[in-house]
Amino acid sequence: MRGGCNWVGVVWRGRGKKTRYSSYTPPKYPTVLGPNLPDVWIPSTKSQRPQSSASFPNGQAAAVIDGKSIAQDIKVRIAGEIRRTKAAIGKCPGLAVVLVGERRDSRTYINIKLRACEEVGIATQIAKLPENCTETELLDVVSDFNEDPSVHGIIVQLPLPQHLDEEKIMTVVSPEKDVDGFHPLNMGNLAMRGREPLFIPCAPKGCLELLLRFGVEIIGKKSVVIGRSKIVGLPISFLLQRHHATVCTVHPYTKKPEEIISQADIVVSDVGIPNMVRGNWLKPGAVVIDMGTNLVKDPSSRSGFCVTGDVCYKEAIKVVSAITPVPGGVGPVTIAMLLSNTLDSSKRAFGFS
């Protein structure tokens, strides 16, 4: 994250207690938090509604936004920074992961994150707790990681078992190590223009990285976010507003969602319903960021399942100007943002720039 940090708040404390990469220069593009422009209202003198400049010729295939290659570029930069830090001060970033229970999907996500950390040189620790652990036991583990100077980022893998208070657990994670960006102080500063959170949630941050690196114009564009979860929908709405888009949120109680979505220049979806957004819901020339990850039955697959997004890809690609595939779109960049947040946290702790 560029620039200084205006974050002010309380640090929550607990109880006591080789892949080789070549050098890489990241491309120049706007900061993820967006330009700090003043609000200047200019009354419209037009009597009729202007037509959007977004259009896409019929019959031409949409551009596919390749998250894998973008994520690899980001990891190359991170690996280089970690090597430079280690050579200068003999230290490297550390990430701690807390896993409760034996959910198969949670174990899979954790393994992907641990492998990515190993690729770039981030040291990892993992604390595994049983499904029936008490809230006190979990809080003690998080508090210990808060106090550990070798740990610069803490992830509590979600979802947690129902008997545990998820909000309480996330609030106990130190805001200075909250690399998931879910602490109320980080989320609150993200929502307030003029302030900077210590961390931006990884999936929304990855979404903005894709838009910026792909050169998508955001300022003044109509953007629709489908879903309002604290992990994706809410923070991506904040980020798009900070980039001066006109943002509308579609949720389960929205009436005629397809009419609202059809007006959007940028569509971001994360609702967990496979192929919910049809091609005829989308405006010609729109940019679609599909953040849904859904397992659906597929007899032709060896596993019997395939992964699909919230947007009907085969229909959308005939209408939109650019779209992220599922898998291979936002997912790899989300993992790269976790690595980036952990690196930023360690450099802040080391006082190293």
Q: Which residues are annotated as catalytic?
A: 113, 157, 180
Q: In whole angstroms, what separates CA 214 from the centre of its chain?
A: 16
Dihedral sign for Cα atoms in the order 143, 350, 210, 51: positive
- What does the angle CA 243 – CA 249 – CA 251 come to, to the nearest 5 degrees? 155
Do 112 and 104 touch, CB atoms closer than 8 A? no
Do 250 and 282 touch, CB atoms closer than 8 A? no
Q: In whole angstroms, what separates CA 316 from the centre of its chain?
A: 22
Smallest CA-to-CA distance from 312 within 334, 284, 292, 330 is with 292
CB atoms within 10 A of CB 347: 17
Smallest CA-to-CA distance from 99 within 108, 90, 91 is with 108
Question: CA–CA separation, 326 vs 92, rounded Å?
Answer: 33
Question: CA–CA separation, 82 vs 96, rounded Å?
Answer: 17
Question: CA–CA separation, 135 vs 155, rounded Å?
Answer: 16
Task: Please give the structure tokens belonging to residue 141.
Answer: 């583990």
Q: Which residues contact 234 (CB under 8 A, 6 or more apart)?
A: 187, 228
CB atoms within 10 A of CB 24: 15
Smallest CA-to-CA distance from 120 within 270, 307, 335 is with 335
CB atoms within 10 A of CB 134: 12
Question: Locate tokens 């008997």: which residue?
Answer: 163
Tell me the backbone φ, ψ of residue 254, rounded to 5 degrees. -70, 130
